[in-house]
Amino acid sequence: MRKIIILSGAILITSLLSAQQSSLYMPPAFQKAYEKGTRSWDGNPGPNYWQNSAKYNIKAEYDPVTKLIAGKETILYKNNSQDTIPYLVTKLLQNAYKKGNARDNEIPAELLTDGVKIWKFAVNGKTFYKDNEPVLEDIPPYFVQEFGTNLLIVLRNNPIKPGDEVIIEAEWELSLPSRSLVRTGFYDSTSFFAGYWYPQVSVYDDISGFDVYSYTGIQETYNDMNEYEVELTLPSDYLVWATGVQQNEEEVYSKAILKRINASKESDELMKIVEKEDWGKGPVSGEGKKTWKFKASNVPDFAWGASDHFLWDATSLVVDQINGRRVWVHSVYPDNENDYSDIIGYCRKGIDYLSNDFPGVPFPYPKHITIHTLHAGGMEFPMMANNNFFADTAMCYDVTVHEIAHSYFPFYVGVNERQYAWMDEGWVTIFGHLALKADGFSRNQWFMEPTSLYTNMSNSLNNTPLMVPSSMLNFFTMTNHYYVRPVQAQLFLLDLMKELGVDNPLPEYIGRWNGKHPTPYDFFFTMNDIAGEDLAWFWKPWYFDFGYADMAIKEVKNNGNQVEITVKKVGTHPVPIHLEITYDENLVENETASIQVWKDGRDEHTIVIETDVKALKVVLGSTEIPDVNPADNTWKAL
């Protein structure tokens, strides 16, 4: 039996359309960026692209008696834009825990704090805040105000002109949440993770100006690429793990621990740096207090964790085969009933997969630390992840790799998580799932089944378009918006790009936008440029429109030596076609058609099969194609 698939109706082969001709909706703020040349229609940063930056010099001390972190910082903030900036917005993200502030989720009262206390805040020598009160001697009250997790300072007669630098001086104090349920806080009485912990200048970009959205618990953050010099002072019986490269290892570690550290930086073996018995010997040298010094360049944030009893494993691996560059990998964890022994291996294998397989870009930072000071979920920070422990092996592996993969998005590529969280969570979720699959884990894990998850989500009211800003969503809609719909869409995108001759589009996308702030349109136009054609027919339904995927078998004809099967696209989202056909010889065969059959806007597609036997049964769909109504997916001969 010889079979030929004939696609009814021509598939339009379109030349690449310019974005001006695209059917995609674009808000005026984005249009202006393209008109000004800060963005390019081909998906590259424009000739006039700019990005503001800051240099942070932070000195902070932790008091184990009061559990307060007190800090002083100097920020050199540069205006690289062509705009004159009349005010500053500084983020005080720990005010999400401040009593009386708005939050997305209920937080137990015992975890609430008094927020960030500002003892001093000055810009170019002028003090705007002192002793936790605004200084209003010669300015109106509304020129200095806190709103949500932001501090607004109107600069009045001294705006920041294009090319200018301003010096910001701040002194502050805060207490972390007493239990780490949401990203940061205490794991136990002497172990904690400090994230979102210092006053930080908000992003001022070419789309929206300052990011003025408050941090209310669900949406994460959006930062420029900055330089950090940080000194952290703690009692000498604590160890500290942080973003950046440590500058004074010889000053703080005992000789025995330092020897292990240096060996692990060059070894492929999984090594124990600090074990339980080491705490009795004192892994940190000296008494009293110790200051830990770190530097980090071109990173969007700085975070750190500390403990006086956690255990520490480390190893390293080559991530760039061309220059032999190594990444130093860590697992830091409590000594309790949980088995953390496999975590360091998960970290190493995950970084290896990310660097050499998918996305196939060498890991961008010199180190990564996974620390387990969180009681729920996992959370990414530059060069660090703060994770909970999961007893399920697959889930533990997935969360570990997922949080490491955030090193690419939103840190190396600085996407705006507050508005388009799918731009990082979607890709990172795929990275984690593929890494697990490559290591032998099957897809029968519920969290590795994007198709069933999306089908279920499509039957709910929470299936919002991805171009709805993340800041507008609540807890119920975020799961679909961050993880489910973008994963399904981007898996189809990868298959589509392969059909168009692009095996892996991500290295090009990452290469264009690392260290910068791409918008969804930069992503769309980059993919168009790589593919060599306008993919608006795909972008619009999957990213812009309300809708769902649903196909049906409209008609099956046994016509002599042919079987004609007509599939109707009932829903709005284009998906590939998969048919299982049973013939009267008890022969079962599969036929497929590309997602591209829908690119010309049709809602029906006919597959014609040359055959000398009749079809008895046809089943439409597969476990990798969502369909909200499978009841109309089966045909049987009368």
Helix, coil or strand: residue 414: coil
pLDDT, tens digit (0-9, with 9 covering 90-100), for 354-383: 999 999 999 999 999 999 999 999 999 999
Give the model's pLDDT for residue 9: 35
Give the model's pLDDT for residue 22: 62
pLDDT, tens digit (0-9, with 9 covering 90-100), for 158-195: 999 999 999 999 999 999 999 888 899 999 999 999 99
Q: Could you tell me where the beta strands, DSSP code E, fall in 492-603?
A: 551-559, 562-569, 577-583, 588-593
Mean pLDDT within 273-293: 92
- Tokens (6 digits) for 186: 């205490």
Mean pLDDT within 623-633: 96
pLDDT surpassing 80 at residue 447 = no
- The pLDDT > 90 percentage for the chain reads 86
Mean pLDDT, all residues of the chain? 93
Mean pLDDT within 128-133: 95
Q: Could you tell me where the beta strands, DSSP code E, fall in 26-130?
A: 53-63, 68-78, 87-91, 117-123, 126-130
For domain 5-13+549-636, which CATH number applies: 3.90.1530.10, 2.60.40.10, 3.40.50.2300, 3.40.50.620?
A: 2.60.40.10
List residues bridging with 560 in a β-sheet: none
Q: Give 614's contacts (C-beta < 8 A, 6+ positions apart).
A: 558, 563, 583, 584, 637
CA-to-CA distance for 403 and 303, rounded, in angstroms? 14
Mean pLDDT within 417-428: 97
CA-to-CA distance for 106 and 100, rounded, in angstroms? 12
CA-to-CA distance for 247 and 638, rounded, in angstroms? 78
pLDDT surpassing 50 at residue 4 = no
Q: Give 31's contacts (C-beta < 8 A, 6+ positions apart).
A: none
pLDDT surpassing 50 at residue 100 = yes
Most confident of 132-146, 173-187, 542-556: 542-556
Give the model's pLDDT for residue 105: 84
Give the model's pLDDT for residue 362: 99
pLDDT band, very low/low/confident/very high, at 21 (cuts 50, 70, 90):
very low
- CATH 2.60.40.10 occupies which residues in the chain? 5-13+549-636
pLDDT band, very low/low/confident/very high, at 19 (cuts 50, 70, 90):
very low
pLDDT, tens digit (0-9, with 9 covering 90-100), for 28-74: 999 999 999 999 999 999 999 999 999 999 999 999 999 999 999 99
Residues 584, 612 contacting (CB under 8 angstroms) = no
SS3 content of the chain, % helix, strand, coil (to 5): 25, 30, 40
pLDDT, tens digit (0-9, with 9 covering 90-100), for 475-523: 889 989 999 999 999 999 999 999 999 999 999 999 999 999 999 999 9
- Tokens (6 digits) for 512: 């264009």
CA-to-CA distance for 552 and 180, rounded, in angstroms? 48
- The pLDDT > 70 percentage for the chain reads 95
pLDDT band, very low/low/confident/very high, at 586 (cuts 50, 70, 90):
confident
Mean pLDDT within 323-345: 97
Q: Which helix (H) or strand (E) holds 272?
A: strand 271-274
